[in-house]
Amino acid sequence: MATKQAILKEKLRDYLKADKAGKGRLLDQVGGVTGMNRKAIIRRFRSLQLTDSAKVERRGRRIVYGSTANAALKEIWLLFEGLCAERLQPHLSEYIMLLKRDGIWQYDQPTTELLLQMSLGTMKKRISFLATGKKAKAGQGSTKPSSIKEIVPIRRGPWENPAPGSGEVDTVAHCGTSLIGDYAYSLQYTDVATIWTCLSAQWNKGEKATLTSMVRIKNRLPFPLKGIDSDSGGEFINWRLNAWCQSQGIFFTRTRPYYKNDHGRIEQKNYVNIRKFLGYVRLGETSKVKLMNELYDCLEDYINFFLPSMKCLRKERIGSKYKRIYDTPQTAYQRVLNHPDINQEIKDRLKAKYAILKPKDLKEQIELLSGRILHNTHY
């Protein structure tokens, strides 16, 4: 038996490397020398292969992206708010450059090069293991139609490439599981041409509070506000906001009631820009509004300068299904720089601001403020 074992160990490496015909010839040779059946030899080879005593090389593809590369990917993925691979990969080199500039990139050059050469498919597979969080609990809708809808015309059909400054507005209620009583609201503006986002917090959604939020958004928007498109909620469809828009030369339209897809751009961002950071808890203290606006000051810079988004260019019908064709992922900042209708002075001002922004500092400040806002809150 010792002689047979020695012969099998000696021939194991040749057996693993051989093709089908070569394996057959080797089995005949070993069987002629040892007198063993072919099936018995195959089982013994398999047993030797799986034991440490065989000391053979690991079979299968060589591991290219080890634990260090995965750790580096996870660090960037967490820092930039869990972007999908399609949005993360085109901006990976820029993110690494920013982290090196700020002196917080701790990985060596080989790991960095490995990360930069990672394919989209590989990145999607690895990110799928990272994104294991449970979906947040859904909130309640608080939109009540205004009784004077006729003062604001309905926008029909999709936006046809409007100039920068034309965008959609919507409110998000921080009411928890009950719409009864007073609580905070968030008002969001999303520009159609550049996907630039502006945020503002307010107490309840009265006409005066909503107008104050709109003034804040107009002042924080890097280019002139030219038009807004809202739903039919009473916080927007009122004489006060309508008169302000007319005095500022801002066109004002609304979507068709009960057609949520008319507001597709901003509806999908209510979660990623607001709910993802503040959740669905009830913010029922007026002191929270000031903290929320401090948070939104940081969050606007974080979203607009560092988180890329994709715009759907068209839909192609393939059989009974549609395939969406998207553009290259870009941040709102990049879209502003590339837009020919935006003044160069505005672009230079944004470039100067981008040069001093530190994404890690913004992320830490966002987490700090979010924690203070959510402290002692409940559904």
- Which position has the token pair 């660090």? 75
With CA atoms as reference, report the closest residue to 229 among 157, 300, 330, 147. Answer: 157
Question: What gap in Å lies between CA 191 and CA 203, rounded to an integer?
Answer: 24
Please count the CA atoms within 13 angstroms of the CA of 78 that sit on its side-chain side.
Answer: 12
What is the model's pLDDT at position 134? Answer: 46
Q: Is 61 helix (H, G, I), strand (E, B) or coil?
A: coil
Would you call 202 helix, strand, or coil by DSSP?
A: strand
Instruction: Note the pLDDT tens digit of each residue in 43-98.
Output: 888 888 777 444 545 566 777 888 899 899 999 999 998 888 999 999 999 999 99
Is the pTM higher than 0.85? The answer reads: no
pLDDT score for 30: 86
Residue 337 confidence (pLDDT): 96
Q: Where are the alpha helices (DSSP H) in 221-307?
A: 239-248, 264-267, 269-270, 276-278, 287-306
In the chain, at which residue ranges do the beta strands (DSSP E only) sit? 166-173, 184-191, 197-203, 227-230, 251-254, 312-318, 321-326
CB atoms within 10 A of CB 372: 12
> Helices H, strands E: what count in the chain?
17, 7
Closest CA to 199 of 270, 281, 249, 128: 270
By CB atoms closer than 10 A (0-12, 13-18, 19+), residue 80 is: buried
- The predicted pLDDT at position 55 comes to 52
pLDDT of res. 5: 82
The angle formed by the CA atoms of residues 312, 317 and 318, to the nearest 5 degrees, is 120
Tell me which residues of the chain have a pLDDT lower than 70.
Answer: 1-2, 52-60, 132-147, 157-158, 260, 378-379
Cross-strand pairs, 220: none
Q: How many residues in total does the chain contain?
A: 379
Residues linked to residue 170 through DSSP beta bridges, in sequence order: 188
> Residue 109 — φ and ψ, nearest 5°?
-65, -45
Homologous superfamily in CATH for domain 149-374: Ribonuclease H-like superfamily/Ribonuclease H (3.30.420.10)
3-state secondary structure of 166: strand
d(CA 74, CA 132): 13
The pLDDT, as a whole number, for residue 130 is: 82
Question: Reduced to 3 states, what is the DSSP secondary structure of residue 186?
Answer: strand
pLDDT digits (tens, 9 = 90+) for 158-214: 677 788 999 999 999 999 888 889 999 999 999 999 999 999 999 999 999 999 999
